[in-house]
A = this chain, B = another copy of it.
Amino acid sequence: MENLRIGILGYGNLGRGVELAIGQNSDLELAGIFTRRDPAVIHPLTDNAKVYNVKEALNHKEEIDVMILCGGSSTDLMSQSPAFASHFNIVDSFDTHARISEHFNSVNNSALETNHCAVISAGWDPGLFSINRIFAESVLPVGNSYTFWGKGVSQGHSDALRRIEGVSNAIQYTLPIESAIEEVRNGTHPIYTAREMHTRECFVSLKPGANQDKVYSEIVNMPNYFSDYNTTVHFVSDQELTENHSGMPHGGFVQRSGTTGVNQETNHIYEFSLKLDSNPEFTSSVLVCYARAVHRLFSEGIYGAKTVLEIPPAYLSAQPIERLRAELL
């Protein structure tokens, strides 16, 4: 069988992650990297990788089975995904939960008009976490669901810190409260406030002359972002931020505690968790699996947009179904 030819659109952390993930899968090959920057300034990790300006993408349609869109949800994907779905089979990691239906509809329309297939919102949340929420709530309809995130960097919260007057640079970690996770495992079906599930830890460097007490107070009292949480603030140097806080770990827990039995007397705990040393590298690893799935759907004549909820687990695997049934079932 011929390799599946993958195009990468956008060469940031996610694009590089996709490039690395392609290298781990012998049925996939890198067809080209497309960037808004000058291709000459891009230095791919793969020997002999082809780099093109994004404006040339349509000239390479015939060389690409699936284009993986590696842009950001807030700035790129709402316009890029529908545009590219008119010419390519695509996968994106659109993660603005509130706008997924809107994004789905616009990608679906473009893909259907031109007989392409698209998977939107692939990754881990939305993605593997969503799948586990569906499994857990379907199998245990009577119960309580919990999602804990972290330890991980929240880009939105880090950005909010950087907007405070006097702040030079900042990183915010979201931490799940271990004792809360443990309490769910005990089957007591706890009800939590936001403060009882997560804490927030900030590492902040200040500009010369900034008022540390004022910055501290602005952080811990910031509505929506910090005021509902127990927040710790560490004031550190710019250098320490760069040296010790450049990683992008993330992860979390999806839990459901449910009951069955004549009087709901039987407890069951369903739990899924990820502990990721690199959020973008793991997300990219999920994206390439859905590239495989989207190509398979396309090959079956299935067009339009899909989410991870609509794709059979076996479609993510490079192994033939007969082997999966015999060996992994």
Question: What is the interface of chain A, defined by CB distance below 8 A to chain B?
Answer: 17, 20-21, 24-25, 45, 97, 100-101, 104, 121, 126, 128, 130-135, 137-142, 185, 187, 251, 260-262, 266-278, 281-282, 284-286, 289, 307-314, 316-318, 321-322, 324-326, 328-329
Contacts and interface: CB of A to CB of B under 8 A. Distances in A.
Contact of A135 (B128, B137, B318): B128
14 contacts: A21-B260, A101-B325, A134-B313, A134-B324, A138-B318, A260-B278, A260-B282, A266-B281, A268-B277, A269-B274, A270-B273, A271-B272, A271-B273, A308-B329
A101 to B, nearest CB: 5
A59 to B, nearest CB: 30
Contact of A276 (B135, B185, B268): B268
Which 5 residue pairs spanning A and B have beta carbons closest together? A309-B314, A269-B275, A138-B316, A260-B281, A130-B329
A138 B313 CA distance: 9
A125 to B, nearest CB: 9
Number of copies: 2
Contact of A20 (B132, B262, B321): B262
Contacts of A131: 135, 313
Contacts of A278: 260-261, 266, 268
Contact of A329 (B121, B269, B275, B326): B121
Contact of A321 (B309, B324, B325, B328): B309
A169 to B, nearest CB: 24
A312 B275 CA distance: 25
B329 A307 contact: yes
A52 to B, nearest CB: 23
Contacts of A282: 139, 260, 268
B328 A24 contact: no
B274 A268 contact: yes
A314 B284 CA distance: 23
Nearest to A309: B314
A323 to B, nearest CB: 10
Contacts of A142: 24
A134 B285 contact: no
A274 B275 CA distance: 18
A231 B316 CA distance: 39
Nearest to A253: B271
A261 B280 CA distance: 10
Contacts of A141: 24-25, 318
A329 B97 contact: yes
